[in-house]
Amino acid sequence: MNKKGKVFLVGAGPGDPKLITVYGLECIQRADVIAYDRLVNKELLSYSKKEAELIYCGKAPGNHSLIQDEINQLLVTKALEGKNVTRLKGGDPCVFGRGGEEAEVLSNAKIPFEIVPGITSGIAAPTYAGIPVTHRNYATSFTMVHGAGRYDNGTDELDWEALVKGSDTLAFYMGTRNLSYICHQLIIHGKDSQTLVAVIQEGTTPNQKSVTGTLETISKIVIKTKIQHPAMIIVGNVVNFRNKLNWFDEKGEVKDERDRVTP
């Protein structure tokens, strides 16, 4: 009977391949199998062994190469074959990356595993757009929110009132399609309609594109500037720092729409 392999659930970071952790890169270099997601920078795969098996597990809205149950089974099967598997995920595996679900499956199958944290886009994208998600004088709390709910069929499970009252800065992941709904819910649950909002497409990459507005105006701005998924939505007073702290834009490395669009 073959000795079991081990699975490493690795966060690849937000897009810039240089932002992966040292340990995460080591996991790529040592892996016999790499199961990677759509938002992983493909440059990272060049660090794999020549003989490593690379398996695409990407998921786009409405188009999954493998469903989650198939991915879970893949990890178990490859490990039972005695292979070391790196499950490479964009951002951090446990921030809306189903890392917890995959770890649970591995634990139930008695497959050894490790979780290797990565830099999540909810922090990295705004930082690269000149927006600190916390600031001692303006934001002492920060909340990450899943924004991809199917709100049109009555499955909204978010506690909007708690979000409005309980956090200074809100970071919505995967919420571009629902931006208008998100803004509306925040307003009707007590958020000032003039609260600042930034939407950052492909943060930390050369294709980064950022726009800002208010809860009242940002939806029209995003439509006019053709901002698309993947993008982070940041809500809060910290967005006001963008013009002053936009260090990455000033390097001239991004395509920028810097607050010049009027609704």
Q: What residues are labeled active site? A: 37, 59, 174
Structure tokens at 188: 């009707």
Q: Measured between alpha carbons, how far is 71 from 257 in angstroms, rounded to an integer? A: 38
Question: Contact, 113 vs 107, CB < 8 A?
Answer: yes
For 179, the token pair is 């931006």
Q: Which residues touch 101 (CB under 8 Å, ≥6 apart)?
A: 68, 72
User: What are the residues whose beta carbons fall under 8 Å from the beta carbon of 144, sequence distance 6 or more?
Assistant: 95, 96, 120, 122, 171, 173
Rounded CA-CA distance 74/72 in Å is 5
| Environment class of 252 (CB within 10 Å of its CB; exposed 0-12, middle 13-18, buried 19+) | exposed
Residue 239 and residue 122 in contact, taking contact as beta carbons nearer than 8 Å: no
Asked if residue 12 lies in contact with residue 20, where contact means CB atoms within 8 angstroms, the answer is yes
Contact between 247 and 199 under an 8 Å Cβ cutoff? The reply is no
State how far the Cα of 127 lies from the Cα of 9, in Å rounded to an integer. 25
